[in-house]
A and B are shown apart, each in its own frame.
Chain A
Amino acid sequence: MAITKEEVLHVARLARLELNDAEVERFQGQLSAILEAVSKVAELDLTDVPPTSHPLEVSNAWGEDIPHTSLTLDEAFANAPDRDDDHFRVPPA
């Protein structure tokens, strides 16, 4: 199951990953081999098999609605690459 150079670039764009030419070439070969191996899951007849998204049968995990202290603004900004007052500053969209 080969993946084309265009598909590698398409997926990288979806994932917001910049790739250089050498990386595109390297990942094309590696991803093709991996996809070939994992496409095995399509061999099985899975009609009427429900999906499992979570290994425990837990639903509706409710918590009490109790107010409590959270991070201060300074804590929340402690690791910010670029802070402007009470905002994260980013380049123009």
Chain B
Amino acid sequence: MSSGIDTLRLTAEEALALVDSGEVSSAELWQAYRDAINEHDGELHAFLTLVDEPEGNGIPIALKDVISTRGVRTTAASKILENYVPVFDATVAAKCRAAGMTLLGKTNTDEFAMGSSTENSAYGPTHNPWDLTRVPGGSGGGSAAAVSAGLAPWALGSDTGGSVKLPSAFCGNVGLRPTYGTVSRFGVVAFASSLDQVGPVTKNVRDNALLYRIISGRDENDSTTVDVPPVALPEGTDLKGLRIGLPRQLNEVEGIEPGVKAACEAALAKAEELGATVEECDLPLSVEYGLACYYLVAPAEASSNLARYDGVRYGLRSEGADFREMVMHTRHDGFGDEVKRRIMLGTYALSSGYYDAFYASAQKVRTVIKREHDALFERFDVLVSPTCATTAFPLGAKSQDPLAMYLTDVLTIPANMAGLPGLSIPCGLSEGLPVGLQIVGPQFSESTLYRLGHALEQAIGFDVVPERLR
């Protein structure tokens, strides 16, 4: 805190007030975060690329390295894009720029956002600021670690199966996966297009709502985007009339850590004290079949999206005697193991003879999942569960077993398949590590998620600064 700015505690809303009042200049604020990066990123490795000459007169931001930034290297944490420098901004990057935000750098992720621990980055893993021997979650572990350790006031991630929600839970941040179609993906490196959404990673719920307001909205460059209802900034703690559903299959999932369960139950007791009603309910098929559905749909879409990396127009090119050999060598050398696995899995699920049993079935299961959620929203305003059954696991614990890694996402995936928004807020500690509470609502219910998230945040009083950095 060389400049007297405590980047560990300063919220984005407070930072905006400092800059607006002229108390601190935009450049001084940016430098304070850059100093924090210089001090701590050696041990965290949250950033893949740092910006040295920021433009803008507002507050800083960090962007996950799947978001194209004009003139700033964008790798998707892959060797295949090691030297790729976009010539245009993603819409979300342009919106941050238009709001005056200064870019600190690009954050680490699992390669092409495929993973749950950030260990699949071709440039090495990110470490969890709460415990350096543990993963920050993934895929957006860099953004989550940066916000948690005070290296950025806020950041953007992207969420396909849980890549904003899970790292936010593991690092003690607030993370929103918005309703599908509310945030443009133009210029965001595509993984699974019927699922990908960009979302804010912040220190508190109000910051999250502020950033979501800035990045959301219809974009003519992304035809899946829609007009977004106004987002209310949450105030107060009154939850009278709010109906909370507790899906048993999520809250009693196999392998749930006792400390995770206890922290979530304590949060729900607080919600009841504030006037909400809490009642158990069921999502039997969504939880039992969600993971299988996701790991067919997402790889199938990925196998198609990643066909563009052919060594012709941009990115890595390896040598080959003819065109076909050049393409095959480029993809062999450029993609890491997890990306290759998903491309092959998706190609298999889409191939002749297997399409009906795998991909076509998965698309129908997706309808089943959507209907199950729709039925619950007749009775409930939101559904609540842990974001993950465990807290952050040790680096290396699951990296040799892809299927075990996939199971990490079992609680975040069902809502994602249905296109529903989900907010993860920190609700306590289990053995010294943050526990995430996942709040899911119907499409376009972000204001309701923020209302509950903010009320619980006030009631819980979670200290977002990692204990080892206090």
B residues within 8 A CB of A78? 85, 87
Does B347 lie within 8 Å of A50, measured CB to CB? no
Among B403-444, those with CB < 8 Å from A are 403, 406, 417-420, 443
Cβ contact within 8 Å between A79 and B313 = yes
Q: Does B317 lie within 8 Å of A49, measured CB to CB?
A: no
Q: Which of A7, A37, A54 has the most CB of B within 10 A?
A: A54
Give Cα A93 to B295, complex, Å.
Answer: 35
The 9 A-B pairs at the shortest CB distance, nearest first, are namely: A55-B419, A79-B314, A51-B363, A81-B317, A18-B332, A61-B223, A18-B328, A52-B366, A46-B364
Considering only residues 356-377 of chain B, those with a C-beta below 8 Å from chain A are: 357-358, 360-368, 370
- A46 CB to closest chain B CB (Å) equals 4
CA distance A30 to B224 in the complex (A): 34
Q: Is the interface of A mostly helix, strand, loop or mixed?
A: loop
Given contacts A52-B366, A56-B443, contact A15 B323 (CB under 8 A): no
A11 contacts which chain B residues (CB < 8 A)? 344, 347-348, 351
Residues of A within 8 A of B288 (CB): 40
Stretch of B202-210, B263-271, B335-343 at the chain-chain interface:
B335-343
CB neighbours (8 Å) of A27 from chain B are: 340-341, 344
Please, how many angstroms separate the alpha-carbon atoms of A82 and B285 in the complex? 51
**Inter-chain contacts of B293 with A (CB < 8 A):** 41
**8 Å CB contact of A16 from B220, B324, B348, B403:** B324
- A15:B357 contact, CB within 8 angstroms: no
CB-CB contacts below 8 Å: A60-84 with B: 61, 63, 71, 75-76, 78-82
Q: Which residues of A contact B329 (CB under 8 A)?
A: 18
A-B contact pairs, 11 of them (CB 8 A): A14-B351, A18-B331, A27-B344, A31-B344, A37-B403, A38-B292, A51-B366, A53-B363, A56-B180, A91-B323, A93-B322
Cβ-based interface call for B320 (8 A)? yes
Q: What's the minimum C-beta distance from B437 to chain A, rounded to whole angstroms?
A: 23
CA distance A81 to B326 in the complex (A): 12
Residues of A within 8 A of B224 (CB): 54, 56, 58, 61
A56 to B370, CA, bound (A): 11
A90: min CB distance to chain B, Å: 5
Closest residue to A56 on the B side, CB-wise? Answer: B181
B contact residues around A55 at 8 Å (CB): 180-181, 194, 366, 370, 417-420, 443
Interface residues, chain A, with chain B CB atoms under 8 Å away: 3, 7-8, 11-12, 14-19, 23, 26-27, 30-31, 33-35, 37-44, 46, 49-56, 58, 61, 63, 71, 75-76, 78-82, 88, 90-93
Docked-complex contact A17 and B341, CB < 8 angstroms: no
Q: Is the CB of B317 within 8 A of A82?
A: yes
| Interchain CB contact (< 8 A) of B327 among A16, A52, A58, A88 | A16
The complex places the Cα of A64 from the Cα of B467 at a distance, in Å, of 53
Number of interface residues of B (CB under 8 A): 73
In the complex with contacts A79-B315, A81-B312, A90-B312, A38-B368 CB distance below 8 A: no
B307 surroundings in chain A (CB, below 8 A): 15-16
| Nearest CB on B from A84, distance (A) | 12
Q: In the complex the two chains form, what is the Cα distance from A55 to B366 in whole Å?
A: 9
Query: Within 8 Å CB of B367, what residues of A?
Result: 49-52
Which single residue of chain B is at the shortest CB-CB distance from A13? B328
Contact B194–A31 (Cβ < 8 Å): no
A88 touches B332 (CB 8 A): no
Interchain CB contact (< 8 A) of A46 among B295, B320, B323, B361: B361
- Alpha-carbon distance A18/B9, docked complex (angstroms): 49
Q: Which residues of B contact A7 (CB under 8 A)?
A: 348
Asked whether, in the complex, the Cβ of B317 is within 8 Å of the Cβ of A30, the reply is no
CB within 8 Å for A44 and B347 given contacts A34-B402, A55-B180, A91-B325: no
Whether a CB of chain A sits under 8 angstroms from the CB of B162 is no
Give B296's nearest chain A residue, CB to CB: A38
B467 to chain A, nearest CB (A): 37
- Chain B residues whose CB sits within 8 angstroms of the CB of A30 once the complex forms: 341, 402-403
A17 engages B343 (CB within 8 Å): yes
**Are A17 and B368 closer than 8 Å at their CB atoms?**
no
Does residue B226 face the partner (Cβ distance < 8 Å to A)? yes
Q: Is the CB of A17 within 8 A of B194?
A: no
Beyond A16-B331, A38-B295, A41-B289, 18 extra complex contacts between A and B, CB < 8 Å: A15-B331, A16-B307, A16-B328, A18-B332, A31-B344, A34-B403, A39-B292, A41-B296, A41-B358, A42-B357, A52-B367, A53-B194, A55-B180, A56-B224, A75-B87, A79-B314, A81-B315, A93-B323
B469 close to A (CB within 8 Å) = no
Residue on A with the closest CB to B360?
A51
Determine if A44 and B365 form an interchain contact, defined as CB atoms under 8 angstroms apart: yes
Residues of B within 8 A of A3 (CB): 348
Min CB distance, B346 to chain A, in Å? 8
Query: How distant is the Cα of A53 from the Cα of B367 in the complex, in angstroms?
Result: 9
